[in-house]
Amino acid sequence: MKCTRCREHAEVHLRQHNSAFCRRCYVTFFQRQVERAIHKERMFTVEEEVLVAVSGGKDSLALWDVLVTLGYRTTGLHLALGIGDYSLVSTQKTEQFAQTRDLTLISVPLAQEGPGLAISTVAASTNRKPCAACGTVKRHVFDRVAAERGFGVVATGHNLDDEAARLLGNVLHWQTDHLAKQSPVLQPTHEKFARKVKPLFRVSEYETAVYAFIRGIDYIVDECPNSVGATQLTYKDVLNRLEAAMPGSKLTFVQEFLRAGRPAFATAEARQPPETCQRCGMPSYGAVCSFCRLVAEVERKRQPLRRTGSA
Amino acid sequence: MRITLLPQRKEIDLPGRRRVADVLRHLGMLPGTVMVIRDDELVTEQDFLEPEDSVEIRSVISGGA
């Protein structure tokens, strides 16, 4: 198979684009896809410094690589989640990536936050599923660090497969408030929120993995142990079966929702702007934000252990 | 051919010369959900794998974090 651009030997075949690429042309193709998404959706400019949430996985490290290559000013933000060896390796890969490229990285070990918020601790201390608690903690810390350090933009490595799976879940359950907010760009609704952007939203997991591989990015291949049986994986499997039969389905699903579907939900679901959390001062849709409610739950569950230990 | 599956860290031996698409079908894998890597190069579904090849089939699907 020959490269569509230069006719050299192709290593990558993208049925959804009816194209094949050699290594060099693929890198150009991928970077242009991301750049086009940034410009078309007005995610950020070269004048803004972007806080890039990096986990050590292929998507976030590929994103950081592309943004740096395209000339954007970036700082990485890594949360050490405290999920055993998985998190240790994730942190090691992220730090190595930053060091070899001389990039600035902020690392936040969740085990040292508040009463100790390693995800394994939170899951053991509360009745919440680990993934739900993980999402709440990550969103809060992203927002808090961005506010403390003056970043106006936070970029995450959510890709087309993530967005399509999320959209499928929201449609299956007709979660109209979520459908109203699903977008590759979320403008802040409070002065302490940063703009949230997903520059990889048009590229598939496969395309991102191929980019990371060709660029020699050493990412963690293992999956989060808490993701076994996750609903997102079921949705992704359904969508990949559809994509195999009808290439381009995932991109059409997401793009046409953004163009033709979301506007209807956004009109119906206009929400009051958030208040301010009484505990931490961050934006909240109640007197106490969801993160502080989770922290309070962890503190309550851990108190009896401390009293017993101090005899 | 010797096939190493990641992240499962499982090894499989398959006899004969086969097209990549056929190997994926045999293993129950969908195209676009894995990278097939031989000697540090990607191979497409149309390429052939030889009996003496060692390849890595690496899943690209992530569940979170």
Give the tens place of pLDDT for each residue, A235-279: 999 999 999 999 999 999 999 999 999 998 876 555 666 789 999
Label residue A193 by pLDDT band (50, 70, 90). very high
From chain A, the residues in CB contact with B58 under 8 A are: 209, 221
**CB–CB of A201/A158 below 8 Å?**
yes
- The shortest C-alpha distance from A54 to chain B (Å) reads 10
Instruction: Please compute the mean of the pLDDT values over residues A88-111 and round it to a whole number.
Output: 97
Give yes or no for a contact between A99 and A126, defined as CB atoms under 8 angstroms apart. Answer: no
Residue written as token pair 């959900």:
B33
Burial of A151 (0-12, 13-18, 19+ CB in 10 A): buried
Instruction: Read off the pLDDT of each residue in A3-25 and give the average, rounded to a whole number.
Output: 96
Instruction: Tell me which residue of A306, A161, A137, A297 sits closest to A239, measured CA to CA.
Output: A161
CA pair distance A159, B25, nearest whole angstrom: 25
Q: Does the pLDDT of residue A15 top 60, yes or no?
A: yes
A59's CB contacts (< 8 A; 6+ apart) are A157, A158, A159, A162, A200, A205, A208, B62
Q: How far is A9 from chain B (nearest CA, A)?
A: 10
More confident residue, A171 or A301: A171
Please check the confidence at residue A288 and state whether its pLDDT lies above 50: yes
Cα A188 to chain centroid, rounded: 17
A54 touching B (Cβ < 8 Å) = no
- Partners of residue B43 in chain A, C-beta under 8 Å: 11
pLDDT at A180: 92
Residue A189 has pLDDT above 70, yes or no: yes
Give the start-to-end residue ranges of the domains of chain B.
2-59
- Domain B2-59: homologous superfamily in CATH: Beta-grasp domain (3.10.20.30)
Q: Which of A71-80, A98-107, A209-218, A228-237 shows the lowest mean pLDDT across its residues?
A: A228-237
Contact criterion met (CB < 8 Å) for B65 and A11? no
DSSP for residue A19? E
DSSP type of residue B65: -
pLDDT of residue A270: 56
Give pTM, 2 decimals.
Answer: 0.92
Q: Give residue-wise pLDDT tens across range B2-44.
A: 999 999 999 999 999 999 999 999 999 999 999 999 999 999 9
Identify the residue with better confidence: A271 or A184.
Answer: A184
**What mean pLDDT comes out for the span A49-53?**
98
Per-residue confidence (pLDDT) for residue A309, from 0 to 100? 46
pLDDT over 60 at A308, yes or no: no
Tens of pLDDT, residues B39-63: 999 999 999 999 999 999 999 999 7
Of A119, A68, A118, the closest CA to residue A97 belongs to A68
Of residues A214, A224, A240, nearest to B30 (C-beta): A240
Pairing of strands A275-276, A283-284: antiparallel
- What is the number of alpha carbons within 13 Å of residue A55 lying toward its C-beta? 25
**B12, B53 in Cβ contact below 8 A?**
no
Q: pLDDT of A21-40, one tens digit each?
A: 999 999 999 999 999 999 99
The answer to whether A209 and B35 have CB atoms below 8 angstroms apart is yes
Q: Note the pLDDT of residue A272.
A: 63
Rounded mean pLDDT, A122-137: 85
Mind telling me how many Å the CA of B28 is from chain A's nearest CA?
11
